Amino acid sequence: MVLKVYVIAALVALAVADTSYSPPRPSYNAPAPAGPAQYNFDWKVRDDNSGNDFGHDEARNGYDTQGSYYVQLSDGRLQRVTYTVNGDSGYVAEVEYQGEAQYSAYQPAPSYQPAPTYRPAPTYTPTPSYV
């Protein structure tokens, strides 16, 4: 009986509750755009201990973007990508390599020789038991 009262009370509470939700109003005013995008940046990383050498630079003025990035490849070459974007023309890239690829001499891995397997002599010899 008590369970029925609780269920009915819960149903009445749900029916009476206000189910309309509206998100809260923002407490700030977003700044208006100041015009077309304009920026310029560059960064570089060079670590002689690990051999890392890479970087990126880019300049943008409105819809015109120009930039390049480079990376030192594991074969010793420097790969440089120079790109431009003019409005809706899309991303136009030119890839070039500096230097000549250097590969170490081939050294075949040692062939696998499995270790010999031995069968140990049995250590337990059952003795007959007479009951």
DSSP state of 112: P
Q: Residues 75-112, buried b or exposed e (16+ Cβ, 10 A)?
A: eebebeeeeebeeeeeeeeeeeeeeeeeeeeeeeeeee
Indicate whether 16 belongs to any domain.
no
**Domain range enclosing 69:** 33-101
Domain count for the chain: 1
Residue 112 lies in a domain: no
Is 129 domain-assigned?
no
Q: What is the mean pLDDT of each run of 10 residues along the chain (131 residues)?
A: 84 75 81 85 93 93 93 92 90 94 85 81 78 67
Q: Quick check: is 25 in a domain?
A: no
